[in-house]
């Protein structure tokens, strides 16, 4: 089994998979980078305006950077100020807060980030083409 995974890894990346001390160092480097990122205090006009806890608001741009493989220290990485808060919408029994994610070009299809609050109060972060209800109605109406 391991030999198959190693061969697949080598074919796709042209290298051997990290293991042993190399893997430990990679994990430590990533953890140190995440620790540094949590020390950064970003500014955005929507902070404090969503009704969510401060930590939930601040986690969203961090989550997106992890998803995109970016760091707050990289030029061009997504920052909190690049997100535009659209509001909170009731979807079934859940509240869902939506943000529009800036795109590289105006012609790109819009992408959205969201924090879904379940009936048990748990929060789920996500992103993609899932649109807030008002945006869906506007899109279908040709607005």
- 79 within domain boundaries: yes
> If 0-12 CB within 10 Å is exposed, 13-18 middle and 19+ buried, where does residue 99 land?
buried
Domain count, the chain: 1
- 115 within domain boundaries: yes
- 31 within domain boundaries: no
- 126 within domain boundaries: yes
- Token pair, residue 127, equals 């992103």
Q: How many CA atoms lie within 13 A of 53 on its CB side?
A: 7
- 62 within domain boundaries: yes
* Residue 130: domain span: 40-140
Residue with the larger pLDDT of the pair 13 and 85: 85
- 91 within domain boundaries: yes
Is residue 24 predicted with pLDDT exceeding 70? no
What average pLDDT does range 2-17 have in this prediction? Answer: 51
Q: For residues 125 and 3, what is the distance between their CA atoms, to the nearest angstrom?
A: 36
- 33 within domain boundaries: no
Contact between 78 and 101 under an 8 Å Cβ cutoff? The reply is yes
- 83 within domain boundaries: yes
Q: For 64-123, what is each residue's pLDDT tens digit?
A: 988 888 888 888 888 999 999 999 999 999 999 999 998 655 556 788 999 999 999 999
């Amino acid at each position: 089994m391991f030999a198959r995974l190693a061969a697949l890894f080598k074919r796709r990346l042209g290298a051997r998979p990290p293991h042993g001390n190399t893997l430990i160092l990679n994990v430590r480097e990533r953890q140190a980078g995440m620790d540094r990122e949590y020390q950064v205090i970003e500014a955005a006009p929507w902070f404090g305006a969503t009704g969510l806890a401060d930590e939930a608001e601040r986690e969203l741009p961090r989550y997106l950077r992890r998803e995109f493989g970016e760091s707050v220290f990289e030029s061009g990485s997504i920052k909190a100020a690049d997100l535009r808060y659209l509001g909170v919408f009731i979807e079934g029994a859940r509240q869902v807060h939506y943000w529009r994610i800036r795109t590289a070009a105006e012609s790109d299809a819009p992408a959205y980030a969201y924090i879904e609050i379940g009936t048990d109060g748990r929060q789920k972060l996500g992103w993609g083409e899932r649109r807030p209800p008002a945006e869906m109605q506007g899109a279908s109406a040709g607005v």
